[in-house]
């Protein structure tokens, strides 16, 4: 569906995307996970044929985006990071007019818009102004809008950033349904829970380069332990205690506010911490997440 080889985008001397390669299969749900400024959005813009690459090869539905922008975009559904709904038009008109940009006939767009409003749970808002919608509603409308042309590929740039937890879960549910119907999803996120929920496979991207690739569970297996013991000793003591913890876990990460001890058996590690007579203020055993993978790969947190 999408294939990139040594894909590079330079702005003057700065390489926003620095020679990345990946393949995305039809029906797959593929994620770019990385912090802000990692090059995720730039990559999405190149796939979406709204940014020309500096070098390397890129093929989207078998076409070169530099040459066949309109043809490629006609098969994509794009959900940008910032909502860009048409605030001079009402909710339903937003869908119809957007469909017209694809050259679709009114006879098709009328029923399709109603169907998508139902899908986005916005049927009652059909005649509302855009400015009267909540953040979550705007996002859902943007997703509905992106579906107006029955896209073969859905491109979602940070789909749930800035939404409250409830709105995020509604959105994930809608996206999961699309995935079940076989739509190829390509999304960027800096939330590991989102990546774990939605992505079959993902690449961890940092400073324009790919650090690792695989399914969320495979990445966790490869780059982290099964469990993590999180310990807080207070910001003054964390660094001192860390040296005493050496050897009781496979790996220790000291963060400003807490210590992470990576171990396949978190409870056993906790037992030994207590036996050593170290009294943490708080302790928590949890499963490893993509956040831990990212920390391992880059030495930095995902959200800074």
Partner 1 sequence: MTSTIDAPPTPHVNRPFLLPSLYAGNARSVMERGILSTAKTNWLIVVSGFFEPVFYLLAMGIGLGSYIGAIQVPGGHTVPYAAYIAPALLAVAAMNGAVFDSTWNVFFKMNFGKLYDGMLATPLGPFDVALGEILLALARGFVYACGFMIVMQVLGLNLSWTAILALPSVLLIAFAFASFGMGITSYMKTFQHMDWINFIMLPMFLLSATFYPLTVYPEWMQVAIQAMPLWHGVELVRGFTTGLVTSAMLWHVLYFVVMILVGMTLTTRRLKSLFLD
Site residues (vs partner 1, CB under 8 A): 48, 50-52, 66-71, 73-76, 78, 80, 82, 84-90, 93, 97-98, 100-105, 108, 111-112, 115-116, 119, 149-150, 177, 181
Q: Give me the least distance between CB of 101 and partner 1, in Å please.
A: 4
Q: How crowded is residue 25: how many other Cβ atoms within 10 Å of its Cβ?
A: 12
Residue 44 near residue 155, CB atoms below 8 Å = yes
Nearer to partner 1, 15 or 85 (CB): 85
Q: How far is the CB of 109 from partner 1 (least distance, A)?
A: 10
Which of 19, 30, 24 has its CA nearest to residue 210?
Answer: 19
Q: How far apart are CB 207 and partner 1 at their closest, in Å?
A: 20
> Minimal distance in Å, beta carbon 182 to partner 1?
12
In the complex, the smallest distance separating the C-beta of residue 81 from partner 1, rounded to whole angstroms, is 10
Considering beta carbons, is residue 90 or 201 the nearer one to partner 1?
Answer: 90
Q: Measured from the CB atom, is 175 or 241 closer to partner 1?
A: 175
Q: How far is the CB of 100 from partner 1 (least distance, A)?
A: 4
Task: Closer to partner 1 by CB, 101 or 286: give it.
Answer: 101
Handedness of CA 127, 132, 137, 139 (dihedral sign): positive
Complex with partner 1: residue 23 or 115, whichever CB lies closer: 115
Nearest distance in Å: CB 269, partner 1: 47
Identify which of residues 23 and 71 has a Cβ nearer to partner 1 in the complex: 71
3-state secondary structure the chain: CEEEEEEEEEECCEEEEEEEEEEECCCCEEEEECCCCCCHHHHHHHHCCCCCCCEEEEEECCECCCCCHHHHHCCEEEECCCCCCCCCCEHHHHHHHHHHHCCCCHHHHHHHHHHHHHHCCCHHHCCCEHHHCCHHHHHHHHHHHHCCCCCCEEEEECCCCCCCHHHHHHHHHHHHHHHHCCCEEEEEECCHHHHHHHCCEEEEEECCEEEEEECHHHHHHHHCCCEEEEEECCCCCHHHHHHHHCCCCCEEEECCCCEEEEECCHHHHHHHHHHCCCCCCEEEEEECCHHHHHHHHHCCCCCC
Nearer to partner 1, 30 or 98 (CB): 98
> In the complex, what is the shortest distance from the CB of residue 14 to partner 1, in angstroms, rounded to a whole number?
13
Rounded-to-integer distance, Cα 153 and Cα 272, Å? 50
Instruction: Output 102 or 232, the one with its CB closest to partner 1.
Output: 102
């Amino acid at each position: 569906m999408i294939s990139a080889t040594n894909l590079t985008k330079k702005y003057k001397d700065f390489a926003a995307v620095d020679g990345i390669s990946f393949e995305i299969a039809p029906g797959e749900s593929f994620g770019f996970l990385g912090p802000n400024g990692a090059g995720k959005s730039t990559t999405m813009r190149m796939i979406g044929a709204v940014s020309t690459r500096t070098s390397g090869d890129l093929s989207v539905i078998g076409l070169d985006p530099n040459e066949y922008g309109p043809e490629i975009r006609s098969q994509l559904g794009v959900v940008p990071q910032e909502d860009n709904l048409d605030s001079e038009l009402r909710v339903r008109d937003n869908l119809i007019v957007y469909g017209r940009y694809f050259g679709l006939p009114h006879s098709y767009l009328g029923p399709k818009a109603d169907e998508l409003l139902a899908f986005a749970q916005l049927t009652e808002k059909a005649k509302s102004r855009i400015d009267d919608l909540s953040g979550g509603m705007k996002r859902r409308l943007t997703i509905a809008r992106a579906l107006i042309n029955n896209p073969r590929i859905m491109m979602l740039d940070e789909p749930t950033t800035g939404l409250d937890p409830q709105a995020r879960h509604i959105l994930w549910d809608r996206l999961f349904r699309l995935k079940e119907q076989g739509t190829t999803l390509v999304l960027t996120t800096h939330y590991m829970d989102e990546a774990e929920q939605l992505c079959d496979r993902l690449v961890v991207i940092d400073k324009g380069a790919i650090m690792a690739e695989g399914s969320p569970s495979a990445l966790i297996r490869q780059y982290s332990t099964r469990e993590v013991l999180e310990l807080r000793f207070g910001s003054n003591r964390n660094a001192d205690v860390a040296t005493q913890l050496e050897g009781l876990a496979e790996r220790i990460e000291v963060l400003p506010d807490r210590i992470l001890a990576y171990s396949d058996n978190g409870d056993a590690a906790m037992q030994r911490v207590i036996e050593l007579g170290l009294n943490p203020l708080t302790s928590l055993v949890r499963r490893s997440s993509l956040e831990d993978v990212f920390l391992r790969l880059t030495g930095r947190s995902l959200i800074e």
